Homo-oligomer: A and B are copies of this chain.
């Protein structure tokens, strides 16, 4: 019950990988004496789709599509061409897990009548409907209270 598609699991693992790549990149800079300056926004280091796929044992072509989807929703930024790759669009602490999940799977909606109050004869008074709305709010609450940073630091 409530099983999460691999699409979403892969997407999150890729984001975790990107966050780590960022941390590693900054550390390397510091070590070589060059202070970190965020030139292209808060996140500067990229990783290629193929690289992430290898590290995480995910089907390369499949992950490619997932990252493209994440990019379309503004979670990551893509750089095309040689030496291109993906990087986080903003700091991990600013990426809500709810946004990630919605980017990959659409809105949390246990049943259609969460929005469609007319799916049974009772309409708005429908009792099961309120039960499902409560579930949606509970899930949304959990997901929106965590950021990618929380996942990494867990």
Contact = CB atoms under 8 A, between A and B. Distances in A.
Contacts of A146: 131, 134
A138 to B, nearest CB: 4
A34 interface: no
Interface residues of A, number: 40
Nearest to A113: B9
Interface string A86-117: 00000000000100011001111111000000
B106 A9 contact: no
A139 B135 contact: yes
Contacts of A132: 4
Contacts of A120: 13, 56-57
A101 B1 contact: yes
A59 to B, nearest CB: 15
A131 B154 contact: yes
Interface of A: 1-4, 9, 12-13, 16, 56-57, 97, 101-102, 105-111, 120-121, 127-128, 130-132, 134-136, 138-139, 141-143, 146, 150-152, 154
